[in-house]
Amino acid sequence: MSSISDYKVVCIIGCAVSLIFLTYVLSFIFRKWRKNNGFWSFGFFIILICVSTIMVSTQYEKLNLILCMIFIPSFTLLGYVMLLIQLDFMRNLDSLDNRINEVNKTILLTTLIPYLQSVIFLFVIRCLEMKYGNEIMNKDPVFRISPRSRETHPNPEEPEEEDEDVQAERVQAANALTAPNLEEEPVITASCLHKEYYETKKSCFSTRKKKIAIRNVSFCVKKGEVLGLLGHNGAGKSTSIKMITGCTKPTAGVVVLQGSRASVRQQHDNSLKFLGYCPQENSLWPKLTMKEHLELYAAVKGLGKEDAALSISRLVEALKLQEQLKAPVKTLSEGIKRKLCFVLSILGNPSVVLLDEPFTGMDPEGQQQMWQILQATVKNKERGTLLTTHYMSEAEAVCDRMAMMVSGTLRCIGSIQHLKNKFGRDYLLEIKMKEPTQVEALHTEILKLFPQAAWQERYSSLMAYKLPVEDVHPLSRAFFKLEAMKQTFNLEEYSLSQATLEQVFLELCKEQELGNVDDKIDTTVEWKLLPQEDP
């Protein structure tokens, strides 16, 4: 009896382990329903028990019972209990010793079944994890420990044919990391940031394709400065900010916040005090009111009651949010929600402020209010701001410097006036025709008058050309030629103007749309980004 009792404990432990592994295997089957895969796994588990019980009850045979215990793991413990009941029943009836010994042997044999199942499930789980598991499962299959602090490494990739301003910024970021004593340490230093993703194609043979989201990006944000990251959707702006906050781990590169040399993840514990972050998506609780959000964030950032009340009242008054203070967030408009996210990011006067398209969906008046608050918060203070946007008007309103990104690559960086002087030297010629049939003849005439003209685009009867400075000067001569051409081709109107920075930005965005399949682009920065087209 004592030996059977010992085997009971051994069998129960083995069945528990086997059922845990079985549930894990079933969770992979229902992995598409991630939110309730535990529910589906448990339901499937109950169904197996019911089916196996019906099978045994309809035709109770020892062989049938053992087969169900082997091939239906959820029935193993139940089958073991049924064997014990049969043993007690035979003893009470004073059955023959040979039959009792036969049942005892069967019980001892079935004790090993859950352990055999556990080994099989472990093998199946490992195969499933290698195919569907995340990076931690693949690298550490036993303990699944994710290191909290993992030092990032400099990017070994050397950029080629880089713009001189971008190259100088890269050198400055590298010096900020290596120089022991700087006169003024940057608030944010990003050196050679590089991020790669792997996309798995669903086919008969699963293949992984590497996609480079950020390619060797370096920049510094100084104290009292607002640096704007401009780029088309998908240019890599949000990915850059997420790497700086620590939400996304860079494949290579180093990020230093507030002059502290450490990886981003190592600074996570202290980031609440010096880091303010406004994500692209509204990270709010729908049922909480605006006032509750503000008080909660103030408490998390370590503000006292009096300081929190004073800061909240000033920000609420500046953005005219008094009427919405006691309203639940789910009842607020999208513009008010963006205002709230912006206020939460600057609450407590953090020294590092990261704003990911904070003004999207705002009305003009709300934008003006937020621009003024941002400028007043940063100017002449010991803090810096990194702002992402794809609107040139926003960048010109609040940014001290701008950096344009295309397909994950930093193409140009500098103050607004510097970029205007550098890329706004050329001229843009726009011609509106009365007769669209004159396109070919008009194009030929323009190339005669301006040999280096490059046809940029055409919309119906409107044609646009980029003209270098040497073809236009002197302006009097250029306008004389255009007036003669207007009379000859009976043009409706024309305009000749210097290329604005916004036009340069639009052309850079077009380059991203025209990017080739190899994810490689020409890294030389020129205003003429589109090739000359044939009409």
Reading the block at residue 14, the tokens are 């083995």
- Provide the pLDDT for residue 522: 42
Are 401 and 513 spatial neighbours (Cβ–Cβ below 8 Å)? no
Residues 472 and 428: their CA atoms lie apart, in Å, by 10
Each residue's pLDDT tens digit, 301-317? 888 888 889 999 999 99
- Tell me the per-residue pLDDT of 371-413, one tens digit each, with 9 for 90 and over: 888 888 887 677 889 999 888 888 888 899 999 988 888 888 9
Long-range Cβ contact pairs of 391-398 (< 8 A, separation 24 or more): 391/359, 392/230, 392/501, 392/502, 392/505, 394/228, 394/359, 394/367, 395/228, 395/230, 396/501, 397/371, 398/226, 398/228, 398/371, 398/374
Q: How confident is the model at residue 519 (pLDDT cuts 50, 70, 90)?
A: very low
Q: What is the pLDDT of residues 443-487, one digit of tens each?
A: 888 888 888 888 877 777 788 888 888 888 888 888 888 888 888
* Chain segment 124-166, per-residue pLDDT in tens: 888 877 777 655 455 555 545 555 444 555 555 666 678 889 9
Contacts of 194 (CB under 8 A, 6+ apart): 155, 157, 212, 214, 215, 216, 217, 250, 251, 252, 253
Higher-scoring residue by pLDDT: 106, 175: 175
pLDDT digits (tens, 9 = 90+) for 259-288: 554 444 444 445 456 788 999 888 899 999
Span 29-45, pLDDT tens digits: 665 555 555 555 566 65
CA 222 to CA 241: how far, in whole Å?
16
> How far, in Å, are 82, 126, 130, 131, 472 from residue 140 at the CA level?
40, 11, 11, 14, 65
Name all domains of the chain by residue range, CATH numbers in brackets.
2-139 (no CATH), 164-420 (3.40.50.300), 426-498 (3.30.70.260)
Res 295: pLDDT: 92
Task: Decide if pLDDT at 503 tops 90.
Answer: no
Q: Distance between CA 268 and CA 511 in Å, rounded?
A: 37
Residue 32, Cα to own-chain centre: how many angstroms? Answer: 21
Measured in degrees and rounded to the nearest 5, phi and psi for residue 402 equal: -130, 145
| Nearest to 251, CA basis, from 165, 177, 202, 192 | 192
Residue 254 has pLDDT above 80, yes or no: yes
pLDDT given for residue 526 in this prediction: 40
Query: CA-to-CA distance for 305 and 300, rounded, in angstroms?
Result: 12
Judged against a pLDDT cut of 60, whether residue 76 lies above it is answered with yes
Strands 454-459, 493-498: pairing is unpaired
pLDDT value of residue 24 = 78
pLDDT value for 290 = 93
- Comparing 332 with 135, which gets the higher pLDDT? 332
* Residue 139: per-residue pLDDT: 55
Calculate the CA 299 to chain-centre distance.
28
Q: How confident is the model at residue 10 (pLDDT cuts 50, 70, 90)?
A: confident
From residue 9, give the alpha-carbon distance in Å to each of 6, 77, 78, 111, 116.
Answer: 5, 11, 14, 10, 16
One-character DSSP codes across 438-458: GHHHHHHHHHHHSTT-EEEEE
Residue range 186-208, pLDDT digits in tens: 889 998 888 888 765 555 445 56
Nearest alpha-carbon partner for 469 in 481, 452, 486: 452
* DSSP sequence for 129-145: HHHH--HHHHH-TTT--
Tell me how crowded residue 249 is: count the other CB atoms within 10 A of its CB.
14
Quick one: average pLDDT of 61-77?
66
- Least-confidence region, from 33-47, 102-116, 521-535: 521-535
pLDDT band of 511, cuts 50, 70, 90: low
pLDDT of 341? 93
For the entire predicted model, the pTM comes to 0.64
Q: What is the pLDDT of residues 338-363, one digit of tens each?
A: 999 999 999 888 888 999 988 888 88
Q: Residue 310's pLDDT is what?
A: 92
End-to-end CA distance of the chain: 98
Mean of the per-residue pLDDT values of the chain:
76
